[in-house]
Every structure is written in C-alpha cells, then in structure tokens.
Structure 1
Amino acid sequence: MKIKIAFLLISVLFITTNIIAQNVKFGKVTKKELEEKFYPEDTVANAAVLYKNRRTFYELDADYQWVVKTVVHERIKLYNKDGFKNATKKVGLYSKGGDDELFSIKAYTYNLKGNKIEKTKLEKSGVFKEDMSKNWKSRNFTLPNLKDGSIVEWRYTITSPYYASINDVSCQYKIPIKYLDVKIQIPEYFEFKYLPSRYYPIKVKKSQIRKGYTITSKTRSVGGFSVTKTKTEYDDIKITENTYVINEMNIPALKDEPYVNNIYNYRAKVAFEISAYRPTNGITKFYNTTWEDVTKTIYESQYFGEQLNKKSHYKDDLTNITNGTTSQNEKIISIFNFVKNKIKWNEEYGKYVSIEGIKKAYKDGVGNVAEINLTLVSMLKEAGLSASPVLVSTRAHGIPLFPTKDGYNYVIAGVETQNRVILLDATEKYSAPNILPLRDLNWEGRLIRENGSSTTVSLYPSKYNTKKIKLSTKLDSEGAISGIMMTTYTNLNALQYRDNYASLTEDELISKIESNNNAIEIEKIRLNNKNDLSKPIVEMVKFTRDNQVDIIGDKMYISPLLFLSTSENPFKQEERLFPVDYGSAWKKEISITIQIPEGYSVASKPEDFSLALPDNLGSYILKTEVIGNKINVTSQTKINAAIIGANHYKTLKGLYKKAIDNQLEKIVLVQGQP
C-alpha cells in the first residue's frame, strides 16, 4: 500500500508540473505573480525562481554536422532590493580554435504600474562580453528598471559545435525554485551516462522516442546553353532519441554555511558525460571512461608530459642549486625555493602550459600554474628524485563526478619517498613541503608517473594546523587589564598568516590584530620568523584593555578566556546535508595567567570541563587553577580530521554550543577573603 501511495504521489507531481510547464509561456507574466509579496515556502527569501525550463537537443547544421542546442527560460521574482542581484546573469561559452558557441537572448523586466503590467526590454547594448580564460568567454547582462516586486524573465539559446559535451543541469540556486522543468534529448549515436548529485535528490525519468530529421542535399548540373541547374532533394529519416526529463517543485535555496570547500559542490544538479559516439557510417569513437584513461591522455599532451623532458635551459642553475646538498630533503627544499623565486605566478590556473612552454616562462620569470610546477617536477627529476606531476581540482573548481579531462584544472608536484609523498606548490610564496595553499585542499589529487601508472594522493595535510596563544596579564581594581600576548602559528595557519599579513605596514598589522581581538589597544608589536618558512611565525604584542570585567558592588566577574572567548556558534542550521570541511585537522591552545588586584581573592570559578566527539573526531577542554594571587586558565579545542561528515553535524554543533556556554561562566573575585 505504501508503494502504491508513493507511486501515486510521484505521478501526481509529474502531471502537475507538466501542466504548469504547459501554462507558463515566455512573456505572459500575470498580475498575481507581480502582486506576490513573499515566497510562501521560504518567507525570508529575497527572490525566487518562479519557473525554470531547459531544453537541450541535437540538430544537423547546413554541413550535416551535429550541433547541441540548449534553450533556457527563467522567470524570477524580486521581492525586495536585496534580491536585485538575481537580475544579473553570467552565461559561460566555450571557445577553441575559432569554433565558438553562439548565444542569443530575449529578456524583459515586468512591473505593475497601477492596474497595468509595464514591460521593459533588455537591449543588445545591455549584454556584455567577458574573456574569463583562454578557452572560456561569457555573456553578462543585468535586467533594467528593477523595483521591489519586479519580475525578470529571460530566454537564451546556446548553439554549440561541441556535440560530445552537455552542460550540467543546475537544479538549485541560492534562492528557491518553485517549478523546474527539464528535457534533454540525445540521438542514439551518442552514448552518455548521467549522474544526479547525491546531497539533494533529483529524480530523472528516462525514456526513448522516435524523432524525424530532414536531410537536405543539393546537386548542380550544367544543361544546354551552359545553364547551371540546382536540384534539391530531401530525405526524411527517423532515429531513436534517449530522453531525460526532470520535473521538480519547491526546491529549497542553497544556503551558505561555514566550513564548506565550495558550496556549489553540493548543489542539486545532474551531470552528463559522453562515453562513445557511434556514427552510422564511421568508426566508433570511445571517450575516456576511467581516471587512468584521463591521466594517460593528459600526460601524453605536448603541453604537459613532453614539457618534463625540456632541461637544457636550467641545467647550469640546477648544478649550482644542488651543489653542497647532502640529503634528499635538502635537494627538495633548495630546488623548491629556487623555482618559487625564479618564476612568479601570473594568477592563471590550468594543467597545461601555454604554446611557448616552460622555457619561455623560465626565461621571463613569470608563468601559469602548469609552467611553474612542471618546471619544478622536471628539475626534481633531473636531480635524481622520484618526482611526478599531481593533478588537482581546486576547491573553487569543484569535485569531478566523472572521469574527464575537465575534472582537473591545476597541477602540483609530488616526490615519492620510501614512506610518503611530499607535495609541493611553487605558485605560493609562503608554502612549504606538504603545506599547500587552501585552494589546493580539495579531497584527492592524482599522481601520474612517467611509466603511465597513476595513484590517488590525499591533498589534506597530515599535521595539525595549530594556533597557540600565551597570555600573561595583570588586572587592576578598575577592571582594566594589561599584559603580553604571544601567538604562535604553524603549518597552514602560518602560511595563511604570512599571506594575509606579511606585506602590511606595522600600523596596518596592529589595526588588524586589535580588530580580531575585541578592540584591545596594542602598544608594541614584534613578529618573529616572518620569512623563515621552516619555523612557526610568532606574533608578540604588548597591550591594554579597559572594562574587561564586570564590577558589581565589591565583586568582579571575569570571563575565563578574557577577550579570547568564543561568543557565537558558527553552525546555525538545524540540519546539514554536506560535510564540514576545515581544510586541515587543527588545534587551538590558550594559556592565560591573570594576576588579580591586591585586596581581592577568588570566591568561585568554573568547574573544569571536557567534552569529546565520537570516533575520536575532536575534543574541548577548559581548566582553571588558582595559585596565590594568580589564576591560570588553560583551554584546548582540537579537531582530528580535515573533514567531518554530515552525520556528525549535530554533535559538532553541540560541542561548539557547550564550549561557548562553558566560557560564559565567570570567575568571581571579592574584596578580602571569600
């Protein structure tokens, strides 16, 4: 009975959505839609997609070549000014070797003026071109005449000669979607596999239909009196199409949450990846079906693997660098630091070098990711080390769902030793062996060896990302404190500190530290090991802070961690569908000594408190000890994994809450003896 009811509900939803789709016509906005004041399913939403329709299908062009057409129709309600940003759209277009994807658009803004609907057209001059990278361009537009309650609507078409590629179907935005209607039609000659995202379930209904195509052919002949005649013939054929249909209602907004590597990794979507093309009168072309196939194809490219054999331009430098090095680690660090200083990153991503290759980048002293890190791999190999490129998909690029060349957009270096793989990224000035910049820390990379074998490697650091704070303070009778604070940063924390603060002036740095520590006033500051990447960076400040404690009558109430207390839980949602990604296991330790004012004593203090997460995922400890006229407070928060699964979200959120509650408890001082 339950199965029948579930089937009935799905059938009703499918039929309902189809009826809605048939009734939603481009340009036919209703007064009811314009009068709507809020989205019923999410009353705090600033905007909502009232309807999204997408059609992707194949056609034969004038030269009888397959092209892929994608038509997207979206109607969006803007409830207030905070929703206006949803009237801006960027549509990516692929371009390679002069074969550009074509783009056309119609778009309007609708407003209710009195009892009439006012319609404002997006002019051609309102559509702008942008070069995003070597092979990617975009068309950007913002709808005009926006007001509270406006509706914007567009319908655009992309015509692509790249018949082996179908863009992902985006089924979720940062605003809710009321109705989603999608149909993908693929001729039988193309074999595609599809995969819906796992974090928000999208139902895909697959079927087959027969579709007619008309093939036009023209022949010319020369008749009497040299008159040329053209004969046009039409041939109607029918082929089978695999059809994929998505009909969904009330898809919730994708909410921003803390500690997410890339929120768009987790949105609802359906990805399509080609596996074969079987023309009627040709040889079947198979596409990469495993990551091993993908990496082999990438390695064999003249813009990748061949670059590793180009050595003549650096041989003299390499000899000078390695002279005097006695160990493997010394060689690695010497070559790594040399490449970092020799070639500056031009901020361009990519796994392939430019046409000029690594020699040009080496000579000019500037290059893209591949030019820098493939140079590094080549020099390490030439120095006798077991070095190989490691393909990476950066956090912003996302997590690839299928084995595809486009799944990777970045390359770093890996050196295989007896016990481990040492990862290196020479684009980052402050990186160190196995301390990669945060952009690289996206699950796994793939190390490709010269013999064609490959293996996955974890990109997450094995060492804790630590921050240690030692605070020595003196409290006066007016409730003000003064003292010395020493903060030590290691590993990823040290890299990020140097990256964010090393270039600041002293005044700018003081301002940042004061802001990050609840408006303490810094009198002096000193940084140790700012440029020595082999050591932790140490920040020392002499400070004061007024009104640190609450004074009521003859009592003082002190927060155990003073201005270092955590006051807000970063986790707001009741539930979370995707993992918490810190980028690294981490540890924060605080040690505080408070000298209490003369004439006061400790009346009470918080009880020692500790809490552990299941499966040894993390812990929290706070201890308070009174010795004479000094209070010693120690605290440690430790997370033992870079990623914590969504199944532990509520427990993790609870740990933060209990830690905050614990830090709200007060140390109470009284005048005289308690």
Structure 2
Amino acid sequence: MKQIIYLYLFLSSLALFSQSNFNSQHYKVTLGDLETNTFEKDSTANALTIYELGNSYVDRYDYDLRTEIKQKIKILNKEGFDKANVSIHLYNKDDRKEKVDNIVATTYNLVNGKVTKTKLLEKDIFREKYDENHTLVKFTLPNIKPGSVITYSYKRISPFMFKYEGWRFQSDIPTLYSEYRTSIPGNWFYNIKLVGGKKLTTNTSKVEKHCLESSRGGYSDCGVSVYAMKDIPAFIEEDFMTTRDNYLARVEYELQTFKSFDGIIHNYAKTWKTVDREFKTDKDIGKQLRKSINLEDFLQPEVINESDMLKKANSIYSYVQENYIWNGDYKIFQDVSIKNLIKSKSGNVSSINILLHNLLKESGINVKPVLLSTRNNGFATKVFPVISDFNYIIVQATINDKIYYLDATDKYLNFGDIPFRCLNGYGRLMDFKKGSEWIDIKPSRPSNVLYKVELNFDENETLSGDVASRRTGYHALNYKKSYYQNKDAHLLKLENEFPYIDISDFKVTDKDITSEEFNESYHIEYNYEDTGDHIYLNPFFVVFFNENPFKLQERTYPIDFGYKDTYFYSLKLNLNDNYSIVEMPKERSIALPNNAGRVLFSTKFAGNSLVMMMKINFNQAIYEPEYYQALKEFMSKIVTIQTNSILLIKKK
C-alpha cells in the first residue's frame, strides 16, 4: 500500500511539473515544455533555450574531430520565430573541409490537447558558399507557431584539430541548461580559456585509458571533461560597450602542442620571445618595418632640416595624413606594401602606419610599432600569444621624454590622438631590442563639451541671443567630421535639432580639420511658448542626453564610454522690466558612488537676470557592472533636469 501511495504522489508531482515547468534536464520534449508559454525570469524573452548539449571527441579510426550538437528551444511568441532559422558554419582549407551529417529537426505543437510533430525534410536543407574558406548549411524548422518547441541535432566532422570546437553557453535568449562534453587525446595539448565571467555549475574531468590507437600499436589516453551552466540570462546589447564577444559566456581552445605517435612534438603556441623574433623577420610587417627610406623623396627640405623634433614629427604626421588614404582594410599581416601605397596613394592600416613609422625613424625619432585589437574585434588574449587576435597597428613615438601614440589613417586626427576604434584597453608594444610588452592605451587629452548661452528680451518681446560652443577630444573629432565633410548638412542638422529656434551668423573659428578643438558660434532667435500672461521656456535648447541610454533590468558587462568626459552648459537670461520669474528648476547635486561621476545644477537670480549652470562629469572611462543601477538613475535624473521649464509672467 505504501508503494502505491508513493507511486501516486510521484506521478501527481510529475504531472504538476509537466504542466507548469520546462524540462531542462533532457533533450526529449515533454508536455511541460509545450504547455508552459511564459518565462517568469525574463518577461521580455521571445524564445528560450530549454536544453542544449555539445559533445566533441576524436574519432578513433580517422582521427577527425567530431562534434555532436543537440538543441531544444521554446518559441514564446512571433518575435521568436527567427530561432527556427539555423545556420551551420563549415570551414575549408585547400583540399580539406568540414562536413555536417545526421541533421534531424522536429517542430512540436500542442493542438487541441494533442502533441503534433512536423519533421524537417531533406529537400529543405540548403548549402550556401559564404566565402572561399566558409560554407553555410541552412535550414528552417517547419510549422512554427507561438508555443512551439523545436529540436534539432547534427554532427560536424572536422579534419582540423587545431580548431578544437569551442562552446557558447550564452546567446541573445535565456538558456536554462547548457552542457559541453569534451574528449581530448593526450597527443593534443590545448590552452583552455573560460570567457565571460560566469561560473560553471559543472566542471569535471577524468582520464579515459586507450581512447585512441595508432596502426603501429601506439595509443593515447584522453582527458574527458564536462562543463555546464544553468539559468543563463540572455545577453542583450546596449549602448557603450565593446563587441559582445568580450562578454559572452563561453569556453575556447588554443592548440599549444601536438605529439605524434612517433614521438615528434609540434609546437603551435609560442612565447612572446619567439613571436618577437618571428615578427621582426616577417615577410610582410617585419620586412616593411626594416625598409630604409630616402627622406628627400617625401619631405620638403625645411621639414628634413627642422631641429625641433616635435615640430618635425608633426610635419611628417601631417604629410602622411594628407597624402595617403586608408582603404578601410584591417588586414595587418598580409598585403602590406609601402611600395604599393606610394604608387596608389591608398592602402591598409599597416601600410600607412608603417610608412609613418619609417619616416619618423629615418628622421631620428624613437618609434616602435604597437599591435592592437579594435573595439569591434574583441580583447587580445594576454595569457599566451595569439597573433590572430590583433587586427590593427599604430605607432608609439617618444619625443623629449614624452610618449605619443599616432595613427595616420584619419585625416581629422590631431597629432597624439588615435581613432576611437583603438580605445580597447591595451596593446602590445613591439620592442625588438628589449622585447615586447603590454601597454595601456588611453586617450591623450580630455573630451569635453561646453556651451555658453546669453539670451535677451527686447522691447518687442523677442527673445534672442548668442551661443558659443567648444568641443575637445573625441567630441571635437566627431563634430569636425560632420562640419568639414558637408558644411550645409551640418548646419541643417543643427537647425533640425532645435526646431523652436532660428539660427543666423553661424561661424567656425578653428583653423583646420586637425585642430585640437572645434569652436562654433551663432546667433539665435528663440520661438517660445506664449500663453497670454505666461511664458514657458525650456532653458536647455541644447540637450546632452535626449533619453536614458540604460534600459536593462540588469547589465552583466561593463559600461565602456571609451574615455572620460565633461559636459558644461551655462545660460544667462536677461529679463527686461516686463517680466518676472514665477517658477524655475530646483538646484541639484547628484553623485555616483566613489566619486565616479557628478551632476551639478544651479540657478541664481541676480538683478534682472537668471544665471543657470549645469556640469556633468564622468570620471571613469569604464564602469564595472556594479555601477549600472546607479548610472541608470544618474542618467534618468540628467534627462529630467534637461526637460524642466522656466515659467515667466508678464508684469502688469
């Protein structure tokens, strides 16, 4: 009788589980997977990975790397239908190529209380050439509806053991359970890297004896590992971040050594000492860096004979900026040719900045190349050398004991500035005498925005006045490009941003496109809201932040502005004897924790004038996720301050 009761309670609890919960423990689709159509932990989710499994191992007969994939996904609404579109990326090199086999895909629906299955047909699987080294195998699961559960599985077969299959635990939808199993023969030794900062819920390893054998009696043991994560939130991209690949939870493999059954060891991973030596003798970058240059072929005599080394460096930098155009190519280890650059006046990053390097070096200036990975390319690995992580090169110049970082690919850059794309934390300084080292890459000067506005009422009740603005650093760079690339469009954009003002006498006072600052001034006529005896004015006709850029409930990756900056706005409103102020915004002082930022907003009435000032400081270039809620509230208050109005009343 007790056994019957226990069985009844078990079946009852199982039925209750299946009606209200997803089965994240198995690939098999349950009634609970189909009946549960909401995800309480993330009400914004359009789809949900219930269960996923990867299993990578080396075939004992042909030594190919085999990876078996299983996915079970819940489609919560129509916006989640795109998860039914599957693309499998296959790599090929010369006569070797990856293959995919055993594709099985099924859509499950609950129709009138009954489970229906719709299988993917072979004819609906397509192949598409992506580029010379990649092919896509694509399919779309059939009969998708809100509430569907889809499953698909396949096996990828690869002859490329140096590309051991990595695994992503996180994607743009929540994941309940993700597991990756690996079996790696002792012949292959990999550097294994866990990225993203999330903790594994399972991390086990054991040794399997004689997992791989050779025809001559040799054998290898295998290291068998299991990695798993549970309840992984969706990764949602937001403003002020580098590439998402820096933060997605995943495991990656980098082949270090391979030992064949005859005992020969092949080294793939290298030390920086080895990399430095190879880099120096490389047929592309190394060879180009060693080229000698006849300065008379490039520079005017007055530049060559200039005794002030900083002035000389500035002139050389300007020469390269003005005479050679970057073609947008980030390839830094191939197609590097100063000869072709000189001939065509256009080239990739390496060609332009190596020409700059060589001209400075030939002029007696201490220079070294610096390898970078740009913001969109991800962080370069620091644990061990991975040259393929780098996609950019700049020049370090030391002049009068001061260090400058130079990039001649952008004609708007001031000497000592580098493009925003290069602000990715650090780079590798390639010093061929002392050895390479990691260095921090930071902006050379502050980035600020400052506005000074003075408005006056005349006897005809017209409100007009003058505006002066100054931008420095990256704020100046963006405005220089906007203005000098199309002056008419720049002015039109300015007028469209402020529809209730008329602009005249627009002036830019800077000398050229590489000035450190961008200064503009203009006269405005303010078309205010007049409701009889009352006038409403928004004192912020310039708004630094129209809306709060931070909207997530939680952000698990850093807020990366790239640089520290300051915003300053001052207004002097001169009233004539016909007006008095009834209501004006309250003064505010708001600080981020640890003095990481501050907003000061003050209003004073002196004589017959209102003086208002707002200053916003972001004292850090990068804020850790712990600051997110404070930054979110900080930005919200800034937006609120900028939408406040001043109420004026006409005197009787």
TM-score by length of 2: 0.84
Structure 1, 414-423 or 561-570: larger mean CA deviation: 561-570
Provide the C-alpha distance between the structure 1 equivalents of 2:39 and 2:392, rounded to a whole number of angstroms. Answer: 41
Distance 1:321 1:143 in 2: 67
> Is the Cα contact below 8 Å between 1:202 and 1:268 reproduced in 2?
no
Q: Deviations over 1:408-467 (max 9, x none)?
A: 221111112344321112222322233221211100011112325123222220321111
Aligned partner of 1:440: which letter?
A: C
The match for 2:4 is none
CA contact (8 A) 1:436 1:492 kept: no
* 1:432 corresponds to 2:414: yes
Instruction: Return closer, same or farther for 1:565/1:371 CA change in 2, 3 Å cut-off.
Output: closer
The separation in 2 between residues aligned to 1:468 and 1:308, in whole angstroms, is 42
Query: Which letter does structure 2 place at the counterpart of 1:50?
Result: I
Distance in 2, Cα, partners of 1:112 & 1:479:
69
Question: Is the contact between residue 107 and residue 143 of structure 1 (CA under 8 Å) also seen in structure 2?
Answer: no
**Aligned residue in 2 for 1:245:** 226
Residues of 1 paired with 2:229 and 2:502: CA distance?
55
Gap change, CA 1:342 and 1:107, over 3 Å in 2: farther
2-structure distance, mates of 1:384, 1:458? 25
State the match for 1:207 in structure 2: 206
Aligned pairs for 1:16-415 within 5 A: 23-24=26-27, 33=33, 36-59=36-59, 66-88=63-85, 99-103=96-100, 106=103, 108=105, 110=107, 112=109, 116-121=116-121, 123=123, 126-131=126-131, 137=134, 139=136, 141=138, 143=140, 147-149=144-146, 150-203=148-201, 204-213=203-212, 215=214, 238-288=219-269, 290-312=271-293, 316-318=297-299, 322-354=303-335, 357-401=337-381, 402-403=383-384, 404-415=386-397
Distance in 2 of aligned mates of 1:261 and 1:560: 35
Q: Is the 8 A contact 2:100 2:157 kept in 1?
A: yes
Q: Does 1:572 align with 2:551?
A: yes
Aligned to 2:476: 494
SS class of match (1:564): coil
What is the distance in 2 between the residues matched to 1:530 and 1:120? Answer: 65
> Does the residue aligned with 2:485 lie in a helix, a strand or coil?
coil
Q: Is 1:387–1:413's contact at 8 Å kept on the other side of the alignment? A: yes
Query: Residue 336 of structure 1: SS of its match in structure 2?
Result: helix
After superposition, the Cα gap between the structure-2 partners of 1:486 and 1:154, relative to the gap in structure 1 and judged at 3 Å, is farther
Alignment match, 1:641: 620
Task: Map residues 614-629 of structure 1 onto 2, 5 A cutoff.
Answer: 614-629=593-608
Identity of aligned residues (%): 25
Q: 1:358 to 1:526 in 2, by over 3 A?
A: same
Aligned pair count reads: 625
Check if 1:652 corresponds to 2:631: yes
User: Separation in 2 of the partners of 1:262 and 1:617?
Assistant: 24
| CA deviation vs aligned residue, 1:582-612 (integer Å, no higher than 9, x gap) | 1111111112222336511124544543344
Q: Distance in 2 between matches of 1:637 and 1:643?
A: 16
Deviations 1:443-502, CA, capped at 9 Å, x for gaps: 001111232512322222032111112223346899985444333222111222234554
Unaligned runs of 5+ in 2: 1-16
Which moves more between the two structures, 522-531 or 463-472?
Answer: 522-531
Q: What value does the CA root-mean-square deviation take over the aligned residues?
A: 3.6
2:355 counterpart letter in structure 1: T
Separation in 2, partners of 1:479, 1:145: 68
Change (3 A) 1:119 1:422: same
> Does the CA contact (< 8 Å) of 2:276 and 2:432 recur in 1?
no
User: Which amino acid is 2:79 matched to?
Assistant: D
- Encode CA deviations 1:11-31: one digit per residue, 9 max, x unaligned: xxxxx9xx9788426xxx667
Q: 1:489 to 1:88 in 2, by over 3 A?
A: farther
1:561–1:633 CA contact under 8 A, matched in 2: no
CA contact (8 A) 1:109 1:143 kept: no
Instruction: Please state whether the residue corresponding to 1:591 is helix, strand or coil.
Output: strand
Asked if 1 retains the 8 angstrom alpha-carbon contact of 2:60 and 2:211, the reply is: no
State the 1:269 CA deviation: 1.3
> Secondary structure in 2 aligned to 1:431?
coil
2:445–2:473 contact (8 Å) kept in structure 1: yes
Is 1:21–1:181's contact at 8 Å kept on the other side of the alignment? no
- The answer on whether the counterparts of 1:437 and 1:495 sit within 8 Å (CA) in structure 2 is no
Segment of structure 1 superposing worse, 629-638 or 81-90: 81-90
Amino acid at match of 2:181: K
Give deviations 1:157-190, integer Å, cap 9, x for gaps.
4444442333432111111112212112111112
AA aligned to 2:370 is V
Output the CA distance in 1 between the equivalents of 2:314 and 2:143: 56
